[in-house]
A = this chain, B = another copy of it.
Amino acid sequence: MRISQLSAESGVPIPTIKYYLREGLLPQGEQTSATRAEYGQAHLRRLRLIRALLEVGRLPVASIRKVIDAVDDENLGVHQMLGTAHYALSPGVEPHEESPDWQEAREMVDQLIADYDWKIEPKAPAREELAQTIVTLRTLGTDPTLADLTPYATAAQTLVQTHEIHKIPFDAPRETTVEAHIIGTVMYGRVLDTIRRLAQESESARILAPQTP
């Protein structure tokens, strides 16, 4: 498959594909001559993943490259590879000042993790992210307690344990495993967010809507 066909099948313009190649998101095709390269199904698949992460997952290109670098690093074991990829999917929190508010928020996060007996790396970005959200909620005047967070933790745990984790083929080839992991994290993350907004609209409408029985 040449680049034009790759473009036609994926719907991605050729200059954009070249850009992804430059940026290392897409592996180079197999060179057949100085000005010819051959692309295969793997490239098409990778290209679709990139577009999914960009358009649906709204991940920056730099994060996508981190994910891909983790996959392509053969030195990493599956566990490390998944961890690296997973962390790269995290939006990330810019550095912030140390303050008692932050310390308190971090303690709440630690407590939540302990309550649910979760096994989380100390440096997991989601810890800081959650702490940031708690701090922000405080400055907004609402003061979240652990009891406000547990319903979300329970819901998340149930979803992950009963529906998501079994979809990941841990014994398949590396690339298949990460891809499933990424899809589970990003795509179903958006599914959940969107569906939650539907549920909110519906509940809000039931309470407030002008009577139309």
Contact = CB atoms under 8 A, between A and B. Distances in A.
A17 interface: no
Interface stretch (A18-26, A32-40, A125-133): A125-133
A199 B153 CA distance: 8
A205 B163 CA distance: 17
B113 A152 contact: no
Contacts of A207: 165, 170
Nearest to A128: B194
A152 B156 contact: no
Contact of A160 (B56, B116, B199): B199
A202 B181 CA distance: 13
A52 B142 CA distance: 12
A144 B184 CA distance: 12
Contacts of A56: 132-133, 136
B159 A198 contact: no
Contact of A120 (B152, B191, B202): B202
Contacts of A149: 191, 195
Nearest to A180: B142
Contacts of A119: 201-202, 205-206, 209
